[in-house]
Structure 1
Amino acid sequence: MENEMELTIMRLITAAGDARSLAMQAIRAARAGHLDEADALMIECDKKMVDAHQCQTGLIFAETNGSPVPITLLMVHAQDHVMNAMTVKDMAGEMIEMIRAATPAEKPWK
């Protein structure tokens, strides 16, 4: 059971870290004027965050069903990754929308 929990925690860290990286890539793409790419990266970021939340939910359900999750440095690290990824994702979304609003709309005429 302990090994399974460690694997879940590592999956949580990986998913959250991937989500954060995708959000940062999305910001860079938007800054370069590639808004469609930024949107695609944010969709991938959302998928990774769903993965992270599923891991987290699994750990919460395990605890509520009588299998306490030990508070280890690895678990604290995982939760830090999740919170950081959530913050970066939210800020990336706001930054991309600010960039989109500041980008002059293409005119359909010449």
Structure 2
Amino acid sequence: MENNEQQIMTIIGSAGASKGKAFAALACVRERDYEGARALLAEAKEADLAAHAAQTEVITQALSGAENAAAASLLMVHAQDHYMTSQLARDLIEEIVKIFEERDAESEQA
């Protein structure tokens, strides 16, 4: 069970890192630093991929009927909540960056 809990904590930590980087990217947009925003969003995506890998491992263990597999615990539900909100934040902020970058490019051409 210990490894399983470590994987769940990896989901929570990676999702938190992703969401933090996504919101830092949004702060870059305020400064019109779109290159910085895209770099932070790429880092956020990497953190999401780490969360996804840990999530896949936990789910695979649960479906395999492994003795140390976690049932749907409150901690896993919490981890899933963090992971899903981090993905939503990253996806939404990626679109916001595109919108503002395109708007600024158009205004510079005018």
The TM-score normalised by the length of structure 2 is: 0.90
Aligned to 2:75: 74
Spell out the pairing of 1:84-99 with structure 2 (5 A cutoff).
84-99=85-100
Question: What is the number of residues matched between the two proteins?
Answer: 106
| Structure with greater proportional helix content | 2
**Structure 1 unaligned regions, length at least 5:** none
The TM-score normalised by the length of structure 1 is: 0.90
Q: How big is each residue's C-alpha offset from its partner over 1:30-56, in whole Å with a ceiling of 9 and x where there is no partner?
A: 121111100110110110011000001
4+ aligned runs moved over 2 Å, structure 1: 104-107
Asked if 2 retains the 8 angstrom alpha-carbon contact of 1:31 and 1:99, the reply is: no
Asked if 1 retains the 8 angstrom alpha-carbon contact of 2:62 and 2:71, the reply is: no
1:69 Cα deviation from its structure 2 partner: 2.4
User: Aligned letter for 2:50?
Assistant: D
Counterpart of 2:52 in 1: which secondary structure? helix
Q: How big is each residue's C-alpha offset from its partner over 1:1-46, in whole Å with a ceiling of 9 and x where there is no partner?
A: x111111100110001100110110011012111110011011011
Spell out the pairing of 1:24-63 with structure 2 (5 A cutoff).
24-63=23-62
**Structure 2 unaligned regions, length at least 5:** none
| Matches of 1:74 and 1:66, distance apart in 2 | 19
| Matches of 1:35 and 1:13, distance apart in 2 | 27
| Matches of 2:39 and 2:79, distance apart in 1 | 25
Counterpart of 2:105 in 1: which secondary structure? coil
User: Aligned letter for 1:66?
Assistant: G
Asked if 2 retains the 8 angstrom alpha-carbon contact of 1:17 and 1:81, the reply is: yes
Asked if 2 retains the 8 angstrom alpha-carbon contact of 1:27 and 1:38, the reply is: yes
Identity %: 30
